[in-house]
Amino acid sequence: MKKQVLVAVDRGETRVAILESEDAPQDNSPKGGRKAADWRVAEIYIERRGSRSIVGNIYKGKVDNVLPGLEAAFVDVGLDKNGFLHVDDIVMPGVQVQRRGRGGKGQSITELLKPGQEIMVQVVKDPLKTKGARLSMQISIAGRYLVYTPDGEGVGVSRRLEDKERERLKRQAAKIDLKGGGAIVRTAASGAKREDFEREIKYLHKLHEVLGQRVQETSAPAMVFQEADLSVRVVRDIFSEHFEQAIVDDPKQFQRLESFFERTAPELVERVERYEGDKPLFEKYGVEEAIQSTLRRRVDLPSGGYLMIDYTEALTVIDINSGSYTGRGKSARLEDTITKTNLEAADEVVRQLRLRDIGGIIVIDFIDMSRARNRDAVLKVLRKSLDEDRTKTYVM
């Protein structure tokens, strides 16, 4: 499956869409690309100015309060609400921490943290409603191929890669100098060589040195490192040889992505394209319609069936209905009609989960099928579609 990234920018927000296409025939344009109609919108990310995500940002914070009953501390990082730091997210070199509910060995949170103490923390979850940001003292600096953890140990490899490739990458990454830290090899590193890792770890070490200087020079509470903006984050995290191109409609974002690739993956620079068409980029590729579909409770299927998506506090429920689809021809059988509807629904359900960024417990109520082979076929389509999703999912 081929993919591409669209980046659209206006005065109020930046929007990024990931498009996917099966092995569709390519057109006869000079670039030999696929037609806009051949692409299907798979994921959408929106970042509005004034409400930018702070996940990944690093702060020099000041402990405000330590609550042994919650095994947690509240840390002032300069935001409207104090951040929440759980004992399981406390990392101090050379110090053994007493983990949640385990007692015994290690120091308790009241021994490790005191009100007024200055610590460096990273945001792992954005503030939500009345809750402040979730924090961690396990600092990580993300690159294209590696995530560098200054206080970590050894080299880990993404489990989304094939076993053979994981072993190869682990051998390549084991030879690089981590300067006492640790690293995680990302999914995007598939096919990478030792030279790629060495080039990137040098860049990440420089970022860590700059971070250390800022921490020394800055008074708490204050931000000392800001995560990259939306377009760079998405491209950094997912862009690989499976992506044909990144199309950008804004000159500043175009230059930013070009600069990023020149520094991290020079061989991919030529895949970044500046869009200058008369028709809005998202409209041309059908992204606007996909965005509108995420706001509706009902999602129609090609054959005439439809999904009904309902959200509750504890879970999301998706109901499949045959709708106006009654089968094909006079000899159509009920089992075949139901199976076709369920097969279409299995694929569309996963697409909607990705478009709407739905997580947690999800209950899918397929139409009952009497034959085991048909049930297996629907489950196979569901699992195959989920393989394209970067979020790990357990199907029961």
Are 224 and 215 spatial neighbours (Cβ–Cβ below 8 Å)?
Answer: yes
Q: Which of 215, 248, 277 is the last residue of a domain?
A: 215
Establish if 102 belongs to a structural domain.
no
Mean pLDDT of the chain: 88
**Are 13 and 64 contained in the same domain?**
no
Residue 32 has pLDDT above 60, yes or no: no
**Are 303 and 377 contained in the same domain?**
yes
Q: Read off the pTM.
A: 0.78
Q: What is the CATH number of the domain that holds 246?
A: 3.30.420.60
**Are 380 and 345 contained in the same domain?**
yes
**Are 132 and 148 contained in the same domain?**
no
pLDDT tens sequence across 308-326: 999 998 999 999 998 876 6
- In this prediction, residue 187 has a pLDDT band, given cuts at 50, 70 and 90, of confident
Residue 316 tokens read as 């999301």
**Are 302 and 381 contained in the same domain?**
yes
301 Cβ partners below 8 Å, 6+ apart? 307, 323, 325, 341, 344, 345, 348
Establish if 337 belongs to a structural domain.
yes
Establish if 103 belongs to a structural domain.
no
Q: How far apart are CA 302 and CA 343, in angstroms?
A: 11
Higher pLDDT, 179 or 23: 179
Residue 171 tokens read as 């051998």
**Are 205 and 166 contained in the same domain?**
yes
**Are 382 and 311 contained in the same domain?**
yes
- In this prediction, residue 174 has a pLDDT band, given cuts at 50, 70 and 90, of confident
Establish if 108 belongs to a structural domain.
no
Mean per-residue pLDDT for 362-373?
A: 94
Establish if 369 belongs to a structural domain.
yes
Are 133 and 227 spatial neighbours (Cβ–Cβ below 8 Å)?
Answer: no
Q: How far apart are CA 186 and CA 158, in angstroms?
A: 5
Q: Which of 184, 215, 246 is the last residue of a domain?
A: 215
Q: Which of 188, 215, 242 is the last residue of a domain?
A: 215
- In this prediction, residue 330 has a pLDDT band, given cuts at 50, 70 and 90, of low
pLDDT at 34: 61
Establish if 223 belongs to a structural domain.
no
- In this prediction, residue 103 has a pLDDT band, given cuts at 50, 70 and 90, of low
pLDDT at 279: 92
Mean per-residue pLDDT for 104-131?
A: 89
Residue 33 has pLDDT above 70, yes or no: no
Q: How many CA atoms lie within 13 A of 322 on its CB side?
A: 13
Q: β-strands 13-21, 40-48: how paired?
A: antiparallel
**Are 132 and 168 contained in the same domain?**
no
**Are 255 and 335 contained in the same domain?**
no
Domain interval for residue 88: 57-93+113-136
Residue 302 tokens read as 């090609």
Helix orientation angle between 251-264 and 230-238, rounded to the nearest 10 degrees: 40
Q: What is the CATH number of the domain that holds 79?
A: 2.40.50.140
Establish if 242 belongs to a structural domain.
yes
Residue 65 has pLDDT above 90, yes or no: yes
**Are 320 and 347 contained in the same domain?**
yes
Q: β-strands 146-149, 141-142: how paired?
A: antiparallel
Establish if 202 belongs to a structural domain.
yes
Q: How many CA atoms lie within 13 A of 242 on its CB side?
A: 18
What is the total count of domains within the chain? 4
Residue 97 tokens read as 């921490």
Question: Of 119-133, 199-213, 241-255, which gets the smallest average pLDDT?
Answer: 241-255
Q: Which residues of 60-84 are buried (b: 16+ CB within 10 A; e: fewer)?
A: bbbbbebeeeebbbbbbbebeebbb
The conformation of residue 110, written as its DSSP 8-state character, comes to: H
Find, among 135, 132, 112, the residue nearest to 124 by Cα. 135
**Are 170 and 149 contained in the same domain?**
yes
Widest pairwise Cα distance in the chain: 79
Residue 271 tokens read as 């895949």
